[in-house]
Chains A and B, each alone.
Chain A
Amino acid sequence: MAPGVSPSSVRRLSDFIRARRDDIVEDWAARVRSLSPARELSHTAIVDHLPLILARVADMVEAAQTGVPMSLGDLPQRHALDRLGRGFDFDQIVIEFNLLRRAILDLWATEMGAEIDVRELRHLGDAFDGALADSAAKYASAREKLLKALDSVSEAALGSADLEVFLQNLVTSMLTGTEAVDTCVVLLREGDILRVRAAAGLEEELRTGFFVKTGEGFAGRVASEASPVFLRHAADDPIVKSPAIRAKGVRALYGVPLRREDRVIGVAHIGSLTAFEFSDEDKLLFRTMVSRATSGIVKAQILADLQRAETAQRFLADASRELAGSLDYQVTLEKIARLAVPAIADWCVVDLRENGFLRRVSVAHADPAKEKLARELEERYPTDPDASVGVPQVIRSGVTEWSADLSDEDLRAGARDDAHLGVLRELGLKAYIIVPIRTRRGPLGAIALITAESNRRYSATDVRVAEDLGRRVGMAIENALLYQEAQEAVAVRDRVLAVVSHDLRNQLGVVKMGTHLLARKLEATADKNEFHRPIDTIERTADSMQRLVTDLLDMAALQAGKLTVEPQPLVVADILEEACRSQQLIAAAKGVKLTVHSVAVDVRIMADRERLLQALANLLGNAIKFTDQGGSVTLRANAGDEDVTIAVDDTGTGIPTEHLDRIFDPYQSLQRTEQRGTGLGLYISKGIVVRHGGRLEVESTVGKGSTFMITLPRLKD
């Protein structure tokens, strides 16, 4: 027996229940905890309305004495709804009430003995029967609505993989599925703000992209408390920040957090324009729908993130392809701006710094009229190159500038005057990222990505994508600049070469003519032999200089792809004879035997006669040069069905294998200082042959000799 309770004063069951209410509740709660849905619940959650119910039960039992009829009111219904929301079956609610009856009667039996007033006992039974009947009715109807609501959540989820569509389906079904609910809004978390993503009855909030910081405003409080918050007079409540809720005169406002594990990912709230309160049933319904929708939202968010990442990657890949595909970066930047819209922005503006000035290279928007507007805007309000924010600052500092959310204050701060502000507002700018275009020479420009109509907001991930783009564009521009400079250097070299060689030829001409004239005049004199040697030397030197100039010009023409050839049908046998004839004296002077093998006269090719003879002279000259006295050089041709191969064999020193792949390289041969002349002969010969659509190959064995082979297409009759 509990202290302070005198047995004499507690003869009645009703009094006993009142007196021992706490003990009965504790005993009951311990028994209920064995039910599976209750195992994880807190003590408070288990106890729920039980103390109130027990008080009413006591009143009903007392009616046996007083004759005043009493009832449990809506307590059984509310308890049933609570249990439904916590996942109890109806059977388990029946067990709960049975356990309560047992707890009362067991305690009575222990402390008061078996004796009990039958009328009181009957009233107790009636109370429990009534409670069960009310619970059953409420449970069944609420459960049906709940299932319908969950169905609608599933349908909303199934309706679309698109998060926005899913959320909009959800808020709409909330309005149609419940009474007295006139508004429903879902806000999702973006960093430390909550932004309206779907709204019914408060569409204004969606249109303006309404957002609050967590901790601020109604939704912010729901998020920071991570539990439901209820307001009776929302329109007049100081906590409410939304102008739309105030304007609409929302009364009851009930908000619940969207929770994923321990994180609040958003807030949903329902409001009523007529009622000051929502029924427990509607609240339960809303909570259940929201909790069910949360996993769908998380999935859709992940999917949306993936799609965004995929779009960004595809954009970067496309941009890289454009950048790699062209060295004209003006055109390329235009294309990239077009790719960026709408892949990652509604606007893409590229500025380059040139000679201290900013030049707008491209402005891209899906709507050409808006591009025009932007260009006019830039003309009327040119960017201040010394501005401490925006493009000039990004170019100066090389540091990205971005805003996930442009507020009206931001626009006001950036506007030059009211008219400017008006245009900025009209453009509906939402967020921006400005990244530097960086090269090793320093920042060269900036790319601005801006969102407007799409309502898209930028995240740290988007900033990384944009910076990646800035880097790639920087590299491409750098390559283009290097290429331009190289081109200019080549052009300068070609001009110098042309001028110098022109003058050299003129002057060599004078030397040669002068020498010739001198020799001719000396022939008549007696001193002719005395002058023969120096005149001969002058003539040979002038010839050698002439070859040098010709080689240099040919090399420049080959490298510029400007070596001209004028092919005509040629009889191979004639060409071989002529090539041999021109080298015969040199070979004889060195004591090398030069022979030509005959070839059928019908073997013909298409070639530029002078150029082919030049190539053969080079090959024969080399062969003679590298063949010792007593050796031999042979010129021959093999005619196949398709091709003709002209080969120069020698019995000379041969070329080491490791040098074979370098002998056609102009710079390699230039390094061979032991050789006279430019050493450009093989490079030029190969260039001539390739220009004819043929190939020049070499086989060589050190100590045995080399074979150079020119293969050209055979001319058919």
Chain B
Amino acid sequence: MHDDDDDDDRPPVIVVEDHQDSRQMLCDFLAAYGVPCVTATDGRSAIEALQIHRPCLILLDLMMPGMDGFQFRRAQAALEDRELAAVPIIVLTAMPLDIDHAARLGAMATVQKPIDLDRLLALIRGYCGSDGSGESAG
């Protein structure tokens, strides 16, 4: 898990991604645009992170070892805390045909890898209310 900004009490975005470089880079990128970010390497740790950090948005990779994206979504939906069960999901995928899967999963949007960064930032602003102006350069 990666806490980017300890002083920030805004709800973070969770990046659930097994590929280490991708995970780290995405979080660094979001942090550069002032979006607080925590990471999880699979579905199980994502559920824990969800309960600890109460994020405003989940960026979810589908293909992961252990608990994959689909299993995570089922586990999330089954949470007793209805607020946590309803945290919106954006699916990150490198597979062109995953759009159907994302729809079945109830995702709000699908973002193809390599990620269109402008579009991703726009989506985050939409769900988390951050306008990205509070960037922490350096």
Q: Which residues of A contact B (CB under 8 A)?
A: 498, 501-514, 516-517, 520-521, 524, 542, 546, 550, 553-554, 557, 562, 564
Question: Chain A interface: which of B37-45, B93-101, B123-131?
Answer: B93-101
| B79 close to A (CB within 8 Å) | no
Known: A513-B25, A517-B28, A517-B29. A502 touches B115 (CB 8 A): no
Selected A-B contacts with CB under 8 Å, 26 pairs: A498-B95, A503-B94, A504-B94, A505-B94, A505-B113, A506-B94, A508-B114, A509-B22, A509-B25, A509-B94, A509-B114, A510-B19, A510-B25, A512-B115, A513-B25, A513-B28, A513-B114, A516-B29, A517-B28, A517-B29, A517-B32, A520-B137, A521-B32, A521-B138, A546-B114, A553-B96
Within 8 Å CB of B63, what residues of A? 502
Known: A501-B94, A521-B137. A514 touches B25 (CB 8 A): yes
Q: A557, B115: Cβ atoms under 8 Å?
A: no
Within 8 Å CB of A505, what residues of B? 94, 112-114
Question: What distance in Å separates the Cβ of A527 from its nearest Cβ neighbour in chain B?
Answer: 15
| B107 close to A (CB within 8 Å) | no
Pick the most buried of A505, A506, A553: most chain B CB atoms within 10 A of its CB: A506
Residue in A509, A516, A553 whose beta carbon sits within 8 Å of that of B113 in the complex: A509
Q: CA of A550 to CA of B116 in the docked complex: distance in angstroms?
A: 14
Known: A502-B63, A506-B19, A506-B22. A516 touches B95 (CB 8 A): no
Top 9 nearest A-B pairs by Cβ distance? Answer: A505-B94, A509-B114, A502-B94, A505-B113, A508-B114, A509-B113, A510-B21, A513-B25, A513-B29
Q: CA of A524 to CA of B32 in the docked complex: distance in angstroms?
A: 13
Known: A504-B94, A514-B25. 10 other contacts (CB 8 A): A502-B63, A502-B95, A505-B112, A508-B114, A509-B94, A512-B114, A513-B115, A513-B117, A524-B138, A546-B114
Pick the most buried of A513, A521, A546: most chain B CB atoms within 10 A of its CB: A513
Q: B137, A524: Cβ atoms under 8 Å?
A: yes
Q: CA of A546 to CA of B96 in the docked complex: distance in angstroms?
A: 12
| B85 close to A (CB within 8 Å) | no
Q: B115, A509: Cβ atoms under 8 Å?
A: yes
Residue in B26, B94, B95, B96 whose beta carbon sits within 8 Å of that of A513 in the complex: B26
Look across to chain A and name the residue whose beta carbon is closest to the beta carbon of B96.
A553
Interface size class of B (residues with CB under 8 A): 20 to 34
Within 8 Å CB of A557, what residues of B? 96-97
Residue in A517, A521, A524 whose beta carbon sits within 8 Å of that of B25 in the complex: A517
Q: CA of A64 to CA of B26 in the docked complex: distance in angstroms?
A: 150
Question: What distance in Å separates the Cβ of A546 from its nearest Cβ neighbour in chain B?
Answer: 6
Within 8 Å CB of B32, what residues of A? 517, 520-521
Look across to chain B and name the residue whose beta carbon is closest to the beta carbon of A564.
B97
Q: CA of A516 to CA of B26 in the docked complex: distance in angstroms?
A: 11
Within 8 Å CB of A554, what residues of B? 96
Within 8 Å CB of A506, what residues of B? 19, 22, 94, 113
Q: CA of A546 to CA of B114 in the docked complex: distance in angstroms?
A: 7
Question: What distance in Å separates the Cβ of A550 from its nearest Cβ neighbour in chain B?
Answer: 8
Q: CA of A521 to CA of B136 in the docked complex: distance in angstroms?
A: 10
Question: What distance in Å separates the Cβ of B135 from its nearest Cβ neighbour in chain A?
Answer: 9
Within 8 Å CB of B137, what residues of A? 520-521, 524
Question: What distance in Å separates the Cβ of B66 from its nearest Cβ neighbour in chain A?
Answer: 17
Pick the most buried of B25, B63, B95: most chain A CB atoms within 10 A of its CB: B25
Residue in B21, B97, B112, B117 whose beta carbon sits within 8 Å of that of A516 in the complex: B117
Question: What distance in Å separates the Cβ of B43 from its nearest Cβ neighbour in chain A?
Answer: 18
Look across to chain A and name the residue whose beta carbon is closest to the beta carbon of B116.
A512
